[in-house]
Amino acid sequence: MVTSVEQRRALNWIDGMFVDSPARQDSINPATYEVIGSYADGGPGAAQAAIDAAFDCFAHKTWRTDGMLRATALAHLADAYQARLDELVDTICLENGKLRPHAHYEVHHIVRSLRFAAGLATQLFGRVLDTEPGLQGMSLRQPVGVAGIISPWNSPAYLSVRSLAPALAAGCTAAMKMPGQAAQTAAIMSEIIASVPEIPAGAVNIFAESRGDGARLLVDSPRVQTVSFTGSTVVGREIAKSAGAALKRVGLELGGKTPHLVFADADLDLAIPTIVRSLTTFAGQFCMTGSRVLAESSVADQVRTLLADALSSVRLGPATDPDSEMGPMIDKPNVQRVNIEVEEAIAAGAKPVVRGGPTTVPGLTDGAFDHPTLLEVDDSSLLIVQHQTFGPVQILQTFDSEDEAVALANDTDYGLSACIWSRDGHKTAPARR
């Protein structure tokens, strides 16, 4: 197991070159708050350079027209990633705070996505219609141009490739913004891309930034024709509004408030460990975090007790400790933010079943560790129920009927995912709604 990596100066990758920036920021290990390196803080200058390089590549090189070149490049890119997966895992654990199993799970999907995209690169079929006897109408599928990709810090390696791979397969070029908290991961990804000779200079451009100015330029630039964003719903709405003014194609993968519906006939020995892991995975910092538990009244006391016992005993620790069950949050400001929201919820009427909070465990206090919290609420209008907390906070509510369970589950703006725990396969079947 690699417990540290050599401190490195992460650079941006623009027009086939590694590029520094006048502004540099430290990269921090959130488990210890030690400096593990530094990165070029790109901002608007790097963003504009990335956009221009992608635009010129799309306009003047054969990338957009040569499907076999793209298929070959993507296949070789998958091989290059495969060769450096362990290093990528080490870096994600160190820079991002993820436990090793979670980091392995993230990077596992990268190679699959690239190989799948390689298979699509030569399959951009059009369509021919016989509109009337003797006449035909034909449509062709062509790349739209430069793709602006804005990636999050919570799963930076995979969620960037998830957008990049299909864009490249289609013949688009890309300008991609990575958050500063994932700049070391971005640097390794840039090195991997640089190692694939079939990818022409300018086809993929990556810059990191500590703020969002470069990302805004990706959305606003007339040279960027499509935008892929993964992140918060608040920012997603802003992007949709800004991009909509130019009728850009936009793909948004935003927040969630996943409910677990636990019915009286559920197997609690199976359900509770999964419900707990759905909260503790990456300290509740992902879109499908199981942040809401809706329990049928007849088993609510049992669910409450089992959850409280399980959450109270979650072992915090860094990725270097194989016994760790939950790693740190991304940084201390987010720990503070989450706990302010918890205190506001308690003041508004939420009942603390397990009040977690910043750790006092010796050896962990320098890091961004936050123990899980379980709150019981009767009022779904509380902000802690309605808003995505993005931290290790779980909400418990009770219901008396299937209809009430569905109503509570839907009583939020989010609809990304949900879980149903029951031995009855017909529970909440669409035909019964």
The 10s digit of each residue's pLDDT in 87-128 is 999 999 999 999 999 999 999 999 999 999 999 999 988 899
CB burial class (10 A; 0-12, 13-18, 19+) of residue 357? middle
Signed CA dihedral, 322, 326, 328, 329: sign only: positive
- Report the relative pairing of strands 127-132 and 12-14 from DSSP bridges: unpaired
Residue 433 pLDDT exceeds 70: no
Determine the average pLDDT of the residues in 298-320. 98
Query: What top-level class would CATH report for the domain 8-253?
Result: alpha beta
Among this protein's residues, is 287 annotated catalytic? yes
Would you state the torsion angle of the CA atoms of residues 214, 47, 192, 181, taken in this order, to the nearest 10 degrees? -20
Q: Which pair of tokens denotes residue 5?
A: 């990596």
Structural tokens at position 71: 């298929």
Say yes or no to pLDDT of 141 above 70. yes
pLDDT at position 2 is: 41
pLDDT at 425: 84
Residue 56 reports pLDDT greater than 60 = yes
- Whether the pLDDT of residue 331 is over 90: the answer is yes
For 160-204, what is each residue's pLDDT tens digit? Answer: 999 999 999 999 999 999 999 999 999 999 999 999 999 999 999
pLDDT at 124: 86
pLDDT band at 3 (very low <50, low <70, confident <90, very high): very low
Q: Report angle CA 57, 47, 25 to the nearest 5 degrees.
A: 135
- Whole-angstrom Cα distance, residue 91 to residue 113? 20
- Specify the pLDDT at position 5: 52
Residue scoring higher pLDDT (424 or 78):
78
Query: Which architecture characterizes domain 259-432 according to CATH?
Result: 3-Layer(aba) Sandwich (3.40)
- Does position 430 have pLDDT exceeding 70, yes or no? no
Quote the pLDDT of residue 427. 74
What integer pLDDT is reported at residue 6 of this predicted model? 62
Residue span(s) of the chain under CATH 3.40.605.10 come to 8-253
Give the per-residue pLDDT at 231.
Answer: 95
User: pLDDT tens digits, residue range 59-87?
Assistant: 999 999 999 999 999 999 999 999 999 99
- pLDDT-derived band at 432 (thresholds 50, 70, 90) equals very low
**pLDDT for 395:** 98
Those residues whose C-beta lies under 8 Å from the C-beta of residue 237, and which sit 6 or more positions away, are none
- Which part of the chain has CATH 3.40.309.10? 259-432
- Whether 4 shows a pLDDT value over 80: the answer reads no
pLDDT value of residue 373: 98
Q: Which of 253, 325, 343, 402 is catalytic?
A: 253
Query: What is the tens place of the pLDDT at every residue in 360-402?
Result: 999 999 999 999 999 999 999 999 999 999 999 999 999 999 9
- This prediction has a pTM of 0.93
Among 57, 93, 172, 287, the one annotated catalytic: 287
pLDDT for position 8 = 86
Quote the CA–CA distance of 163 and 172 in Å, as a whole number.
11
Stronger pLDDT, 7 or 407, i.e. the higher one:
407
